């Protein structure tokens, strides 16, 4: 960890800051009763704060073993830092204004902010694809199972990032109904219709899940098996969402 902090200080500190902002959003949710698309206004920023915080720390860990002389390492670091910070500023700012951040084109300002978010997601996807290429070309000083897990995790992550653009094409994350219907607590995944966010979430967190499997098992076979299952769940969740069917159902109450 000391080596990760030394080599990737920017991403580590930024990741810790986002985790702290996650706590701030939960505190704001406790005192601010405003509701946006059926849930507390600060739940969405909170979800993004913790997710981005974990992602930034993970990218710091992924970039740290790479040779500093490799072309693009510095660019990836700054692309990830700027893209994720801009995304969070827009999401938090829109929540403070009492309106949605995604798919919101109701005013010129809202539309411009949404398009900026799309631009920064493209930037981050490109930034994640580059270390995948570097990990495929080179073999950093990691154990065999861990190296395999990083490669597969980055691959699934990039696929999930690209899948996120289907939400933009759909103009919403819900398929078969308007956003804001009955959903799972906090995550707000639809319990009545298809929800493209579920596959997006599953795929993107392969970036943390597969290295954890490698660390716990120390086995390439375990990594391959879990990666295959992870990819299958991602595809299943995506197919169900496109069909307008919920992955999870709970009785109304």
The DSSP-derived string for 2-62 is: HHHHHH-HHHHHHHHHHHHHHHHHHHHHHH---EETTEETTHHHHHHHHHHHHHHHHHHHH
pLDDT in tens, 140-174: 878 899 999 999 999 999 999 999 889 988 888 88
Phi/psi at 15 (5° precision): -65, -45
Q: Does pLDDT of 139 surpass 80? A: no
Mean pLDDT, all residues of the chain: 91
Average pLDDT of the residues in 124-142: 88
| pLDDT at residue 70, rounded to an integer | 76
What is the C-alpha separation between 38 and 34, in angstroms, rounded? 10
**What phi-psi label fits residue 176: left (phi over 0), alpha (psi between -120 and 50 degrees) or beta?**
left
Average pLDDT of the residues in 197-225: 95
- CB burial class (10 A; 0-12, 13-18, 19+) of residue 222? middle
User: pTM value?
Assistant: 0.90
Stretch among 80-89, 154-163, 189-198 having the lowest mean pLDDT:
189-198
In 3-state terms, what secondary structure has residue 174? strand
**177 pLDDT band (50/70/90 cuts)?**
confident
Domain residues of the chain, as ranges? 1-141, 143-253
- CB burial class (10 A; 0-12, 13-18, 19+) of residue 44? buried
**221 pLDDT band (50/70/90 cuts)?**
very high
Residues with Cβ < 8 Å from 105, sequence gap 6 or more? 111, 114
What is the C-alpha separation between 46 and 91, in angstroms, rounded? 10
Q: Percent of the chain having pLDDT more than 90?
A: 72
| pLDDT at residue 20, rounded to an integer | 97
Q: Which two tokens stand for residue 140?
A: 């950093």
Average pLDDT of the residues in 67-96: 92
**What phi-psi label fits residue 38: left (phi over 0), alpha (psi between -120 and 50 degrees) or beta?**
left
CB burial of 157-188 (b: ≥16 within 10 Å; e: otherwise) equals bbbbbebbebbbeeebbbbbeebbbebbeeeb
What is the C-alpha separation between 118 and 24, in angstroms, rounded? 25
Token match 């490669």: residue? 151
Cβ atoms within 10 Å of 216's Cβ, excluding its own = 10
| pLDDT at residue 253, rounded to an integer | 47
| pLDDT at residue 250, rounded to an integer | 55
Q: Percent of the chain having pLDDT more than 70?
A: 98
Q: Is the dihedral of CA 215, 217, 218, 224 positive or negative?
A: negative
């Amino acid at each position: 960890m000391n080596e990760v902090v030394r080599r990737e200080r920017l991403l580590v500190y930024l990741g810790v800051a986002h985790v702290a902002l996650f706590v701030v959003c939960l505190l704001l949710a406790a005192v601010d009763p405003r509701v946006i698309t059926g849930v507390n206004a600060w739940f969405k920023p909170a979800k993004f704060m913790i997710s981005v915080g974990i992602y930034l720390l993970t990218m710091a860990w992924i970039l740290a073993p790479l040779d500093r002389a490799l072309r693009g390492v510095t660019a990836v670091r700054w692309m990830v830092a700027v893209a994720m910070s801009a995304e969070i500023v827009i999401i938090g700012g829109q929540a403070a204004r009492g309106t949605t951040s995604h798919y919101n084109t109701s005013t010129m300002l809202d539309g411009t902010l949404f398009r900026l978010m799309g631009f920064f997601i493209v930037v981050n996807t490109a930034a994640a694809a580059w270390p995948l290429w570097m990990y495929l070309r080179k073999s950093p000083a990691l154990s065999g199972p861990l190296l395999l897990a990083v490669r597969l995790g980055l691959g699934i992550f990039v696929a999930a990032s690209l899948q996120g653009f289907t939400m933009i094409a759909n103009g919403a994350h819900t398929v078969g109904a308007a956003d804001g219907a009955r959903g799972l607590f906090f995550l707000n995944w639809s319990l009545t219709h298809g929800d493209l966010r579920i596959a997006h979430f599953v795929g993107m967190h392969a970036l943390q899940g597969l290295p954890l499997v490698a660390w716990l098992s120390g086995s390439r076979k375990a990594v391959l098996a879990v990666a295959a299952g992870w990819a299958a769940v991602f595809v299943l969740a995506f197919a169900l969402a496109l069909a307008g069917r919920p992955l999870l159902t709970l009785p109304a109450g």
